[in-house]
Amino acid sequence: MTALNVYAPGHLGELTQIIDTELVDAVLEDTNARERRLRLLPARVVVYFVLALAFFERSSYQAVWGKLIAGLGAVPVARPCASSLSRARRRLGSAPLRSLFKILAGPVADRGQSCTFYRGLRLVAVDGTTLSAPDEDAVTWHYRKHIGKVRTFGYPLVRMVAVVECGTRALLDAVFGPDDVGELAYARRLLGCLDASMLLLADAYYDAFDFLQAVADTQARFVLRSTRKRKPTLRRALSDGSYLTSIASHRYRAGRGYGRMEVRVVEAWITVTLADGTRRTELWRLLTNLLDADRYPAQELITLYHRRWQAETCYFSLKSTILDGRVLRSRSVPGLEQELFALLTAYQALIRAAGDITTATPDLSAQRVSFTVLFQAAADQIITAQESTTDAVSLIGAIGRAVLDHLLPEGHRQRLKARFRKTASKYDFKRGDHPRTVQTYTLETQVIKDGRLDDGGNC
């Protein structure tokens, strides 16, 4: 009888060049997750199996296993049942996947990627989202459902907050947990990934003095929307229409008093005109610690702020392209933690593969790489098992060739996505405020200067 090659299914196709077996073995060693005796399902193979689950969300355990061994030809391999694969997942735990993600997480763009930098500062954005978990008693004790006036409703929700590199949409770091904890609490746990080379973009939810002070303490700069509750006092007007003011903490600290921070305020009217002629105008008030108006003009900061939506695009890739809009498959809290770290690891591996493509093609912008094509090409390579065991590392392999054959058009595509009522939302849906179809739009900005409007043109 031919001996089984128990390690042969341990691959991720061409992405094995990024998540190689030596890395996986080192992570298993560091997390004490390596098996004490050789099994038909070694820990290394189970890591790749859990990662492969992220690429085939519609497939069962045995179907995903079949895809891992489909390209191995006549190599004798084990054919475990679904319960064996489930037990293997539980034995592995989440620590190896968490460690893999931490290793892969980080910025990807080099200085040549202009879409990621603004005047020498690396653009990053922080934002949050929610994912739906199975409605199981083993889940809802930790990830709770929304509570209505009479009863709970919807799926249990997992809140995720991440810092995303604009342009490449690489994850610098991410955290997740129950939805009843606010985004700010999670965001504070991400500040360790910021440094003096970065400019953080955020929406009005992050307009809290303590958070902004913590960001400033990392030496990073920030540009974010101010809430309507703030009524800043003009301290000194600047040449571009912006002005300097100070914001203060609402908390008194013994010996320190109320904390204060000097910031710059940029105010402008924003008019969005949709393709169907619909127009909407609103006042924007941006806060920033970029105090030099000559070096960082107000009009540039208003235009720059729109790149914050790269975080939303990242979440769209995670939830719509990878998860395909489906509920997470794990039916326990430890299983969900493992699945989410595997999801983040698979996503970051794809982004690093895209980074290799743009490195090998210097004139190619990262924004022209289709994540859908990238994801599908990587999944195809898992099935064929091509280049999963080669020692030669190629920046442009089958995945790269597929991406280069299906590049997105040049230039930024300004489109407004149709919005629908969420399955679980505590807010009233304002049907008339959102388009029912995807539309292109134009954006006009008028900077407020000395109480008058200064025409800033189109962005």
What's the pTM value of the predicted model, to 2 decimals? 0.92
Do 419 and 434 form a contact (C-beta atoms < 8 A)?
Answer: yes
Mean pLDDT over residues 143-166, rounded? 86
Which of 122-131, 204-213, 250-259, 281-290 comes out lowest in average pLDDT?
Answer: 250-259
Q: Would you place residue 148 in the very low, low, confident or very high pLDDT band (cuts 50, 70, 90)?
A: low
DSSP sequence for 287-346: EES---TTTS-HHHHHHHHGGGGHHHHHHHIIIIIISTTPPP---SHHHHHHHHHHHHHH
Query: What's the pLDDT score for residue 278?
Result: 84
Mean pLDDT over residues 12-16, rounded? 96
Query: What's the pLDDT score for residue 137?
Result: 94
Mean pLDDT over residues 386-402, rounded? 73
Backbone angles phi, psi at 75, to 5 degrees: -65, 125
Query: What's the pLDDT score for residue 1?
Result: 42
The residues, ordered by sequence, that sit 6+ positions from 274 with a Cβ below 8 Å of its Cβ are 416, 435, 439, 440, 441
Please state, as a whole number, how many other Cβ atoms lie within 10 Å of the Cβ of residue 389: 12
Query: What's the pLDDT score for residue 252?
Result: 63
Query: What's the pLDDT score for residue 4?
Result: 85
Mean pLDDT over residues 293-303, rounded? 95
What are the pLDDT digits (tens) for 199-213? 999 999 999 999 999
Q: Would you place residue 414 in the very low, low, confident or very high pLDDT band (cuts 50, 70, 90)?
A: low
Mean pLDDT over residues 111-115, rounded? 84
Query: What's the pLDDT score for residue 233?
Result: 85
Mean pLDDT for all residues in the chain:
89
The runs of H, that is alpha helices, within 144-192 are 183-188
Max avg pLDDT among 76-80, 141-145, 218-222, 420-424: 218-222
Domain assignments of the chain as residue spans, ordered by start: 15-102+370-405, 105-267+281-318
Q: Would you place residue 84 in the very low, low, confident or very high pLDDT band (cuts 50, 70, 90)?
A: very high
CA distance 415 to 398: 30
Query: What's the pLDDT score for residue 419?
Result: 56
What are the pLDDT digits (tens) for 415-439? 555 555 555 555 555 555 666 677 7
Query: What's the pLDDT score for residue 335?
Result: 97
Q: Is the pLDDT assigned to residue 256 strictly greater than 70?
A: no
Q: Would you place residue 454 in the very low, low, confident or very high pLDDT band (cuts 50, 70, 90)?
A: low
Q: Would you place residue 459 in the very low, low, confident or very high pLDDT band (cuts 50, 70, 90)?
A: very low
What are the pLDDT digits (tens) for 260-294? 899 999 999 988 888 888 888 888 899 999 999 99
The residues, ordered by sequence, that sit 6+ positions from 86 with a Cβ below 8 Å of its Cβ are 61
Number of residues that this document lists for the chain? 459
Mean pLDDT over residues 210-226, rounded? 96
Q: Is the pLDDT assigned to residue 458 strictly greater than 70?
A: no
Query: What's the pLDDT score for residue 385?
Result: 86
CA distance 285 to 232: 10
The separation between CA 106 and the C-alpha centre of its own chain, rounded to angstroms, equals 11
CA distance 306 to 166: 10
